[in-house]
Amino acid sequence: MLLQLGGSSTARLLDEGDGVVTEVPVRDLVETLKTAKQTRAVVFDGIITQRILDIAAEMNMHSVVGTKMGTITKQPTGVVVWTRSDLAP
């Protein structure tokens, strides 16, 4: 899915069955995550930031998938993080 989003600056929020709950521009991701209900994961074409990880943890999300990692000072427990290089064949 990350490859599908490449270059689009888009984020997809996924439910427990990996279905797309919503698709938003990355610039709106932080605000969208704050109100996301029934969301298990977020996949987006952008840099994973501390703010995104903190909100994902607050919302009890399981996974965050992004293009690459920004500067992370505290990795929230319970949130699995994947980057493009982690998923490369």
List 12's β-bridge partners, or say none. Answer: 23, 43
Say if residues 39 and 29 touch (Cβ distance below 8 Å).
no
Domain boundaries, the chain: 2-81
**Model pTM score:** 0.86
How many other CB atoms are there within 10 angstroms of residue 62's CB atom? 14
The pLDDT confidence band at residue 1, using thresholds 50, 70 and 90, is: low
Structure confidence at residue 5 as a pLDDT band (50, 70, 90): low
Pairing of strands 41-44, 63-66: parallel
Strands (E), the chain: 10-14, 20-25, 41-44, 47-48, 63-66, 68-69, 80-83
The answer to whether 20 and 12 are in contact (CB under 8 A) is yes
Instruction: Write out pLDDT tens, residues 36-70.
Output: 888 999 999 899 999 999 999 999 999 999 999 99
